[in-house]
Homo-oligomer: A and B are copies of this chain.
Amino acid sequence: MSERKNGFPLFGQELQLLNLGLESFLDGPRAGGTAVVQVDWRPPLPVDPDLARVIRAEGEAIDCANRLVLERIQAARPHLVGLSTAREVVPGMTENTFLHAGPPIIWERMCGPMRGAILGALLYEGRADTPERAATLAASGELQFAPCHEHAAVGPMAGVISPSMPVFVVREETFGGTVFATMNEGLGKVLRYGAYGPEVLTRLRWMASTLYPALRRALEASGPIDLRSLIAQALHMGDEVHNRNRAATSLLFRALAPALARTAPEGSIAAEVLDFINGNDHFFLNLSMASCKAMLDTGRDMPGSSVVVAMARNGTDFGVQLAGTGGRWYTGPAEVPDALFFPGYTRADANPDIGDSSITETNGLGGFSIAASPAIVQFVGGTPADALDYTLQMYEITAAESNVFQIPALGFRGSPVGIDVRLVVDKNILPFIDTGVAHREPGIGQVGAGVLNAPAEPFVAAYEGLASHLAGTPRA
């Protein structure tokens, strides 16, 4: 605006219009040749005015709680310390427990790819010998479906974790928490995108019989790997550690390969394992997610805090958890991402957004740090300038800048971290998320990758939920 005004005397100039809000108001004047200026402002998200008054009245207390939450998150140091099986280490895991991504959901409401992944896990566990019998068992009420997040775990896409699956053990060294995640299967037909054919099960079995013991031995020999440091380096190397993990996977590969070669029973097994990791640039994703959860979990259960500690989707609902509202999920319908689809697929094939991987955005990475990874936004038709804009916008809704994760293209500024649900509501700016896209039918797999903004509904619900908590009258 200041440039437009330069050179014009205050009076006696041509008519100019300045517009706040809906840009379409300017269509008429613009068509008529009038100079117009659109101001980037949106009305806040609509919330209960009584609850908004509570939030405003408690402003300083909330700020204080948020500061404590961010201090903890910023002090957290996730390390990869080992591998085990879900059965042995995941809290609350039973032979009938099947964990999934996102907020809680019953079988009847599960989307196609999540159903597909559950079927695949039942076949993998030997609980059924055909997909049809697996579906009958899944619908029988005999199994317990539960969110990964409620069992100290995270999973990408469908995020299914069953008792026999090997898991990474990520320990947060400052406060002492532990988070679990499966090993990434690679691309193509894979369980996490809802595929459950023979090649999916064969790969899962190889991962359990060969990859898992080899990596476990290597890690025992190499000692813990500092994942926070590794992610910080990867951000300097073009990753945002959600949709792009090429650098992080390379650095992890370098850290593991010498110990793998040293401890494998024979060279051919070390080579097989190294080929598998080298063939999958997303191998680091599950560790990125576990690291982010491990960091964010340090901020949980801080009374009064409006900081988001989890965003997760089950393919039907998008769920949000706040530091100030315990284990309560605030949900709304998940939406279909803007995506680049693989040949032969269209938006009509796409399942709504799915997976725990938005834990990276919750921790200021992924879409929040897309300026560090312009190749991502270019992939869906944007420019590096768009990537900068997306990241700059995320500073508008976050409470802090990371003390360890930096964005080179912004002069090594710390990444935007600590989503404050008050800022989301007041500014009507929704978290920006990078994502993969699954086919809506079970058994097919990935059909694209893209970006989207989170839906508004869970944030409005979380805002009102926090206000109710603060007012001492939690809403039903």
Contacts and interface: CB of A to CB of B under 8 A. Distances in A.
A266 to B, nearest CB: 8
Interface stretch (A106-114, A182-190, A268-276, A462-470): A268-276
A254 B236 contact: no
Ranked nearest first, the 4 interchain pairs of A and B with the lowest CB-CB distance are: A250-B250, A262-B271, A261-B270, A258-B274
Interface in A79-137: none
Using C-beta atoms within 8 Å of the partner chain, give the interface range for chain A. 35 or more
B278 A257 contact: yes
Nearest to A409: B409
A408 interface: yes
30 contacts: A3-B3, A6-B7, A7-B7, A237-B238, A238-B238, A238-B247, A238-B408, A250-B250, A250-B251, A253-B257, A258-B271, A258-B272, A258-B274, A260-B261, A261-B261, A261-B267, A261-B270, A261-B274, A262-B267, A263-B267, A264-B267, A266-B267, A267-B270, A374-B408, A374-B409, A384-B408, A384-B409, A384-B411, A384-B412, A408-B409
A217 B254 CA distance: 20
A210 interface: no
Interface string A369-386: 000001100100001110
A259 interface: yes
A282 interface: no
Contacts of A375: 236, 408
Interface string A171-215: 000000000000000000000000000000000000000000000
A246 interface: yes
A409 B263 CA distance: 41
A186 to B, nearest CB: 15
B238 A374 contact: no
Given A237-B238, A408-B374, A412-B378, A262 B257 contact: no
A271 B261 contact: yes
B257 A246 contact: no
Contacts of A257: 253, 257, 261, 274, 278
Contact of A385 (B255, B385, B411): B411
Contacts of A262: 267-268, 270-271
Report the copy number of this chain in the oligomer: 2
A378 B266 CA distance: 44
Interface string A296-315: 00000000000000000000
Nearest to A408: B374
A246 B404 CA distance: 19
Nearest to A264: B267
A2 to B, nearest CB: 10
Contact of A238 (B236, B263, B267): B236
Contacts of A236: 238, 375
Nearest to A385: B411
Interface in A220-249: 233, 236-238, 246-247
A159 to B, nearest CB: 27
A411 B386 CA distance: 10
Contacts of A278: 254-255, 257-258
A433 B15 CA distance: 53
A472 to B, nearest CB: 49
Nearest to A262: B271
A300 to B, nearest CB: 34
A267 B259 CA distance: 9
Nearest to A236: B238
Contacts of A264: 261, 267
Contacts of A233: 246
A157 to B, nearest CB: 25
Contacts of A271: 258-259, 261-262
A314 to B, nearest CB: 34
A274 B254 CA distance: 8
A253 B260 CA distance: 14
A275 B247 contact: no
Contacts of A3: 3, 6
Given A238-B237, A253-B253, A253-B254, A412 B374 contact: yes
A166 B129 CA distance: 57
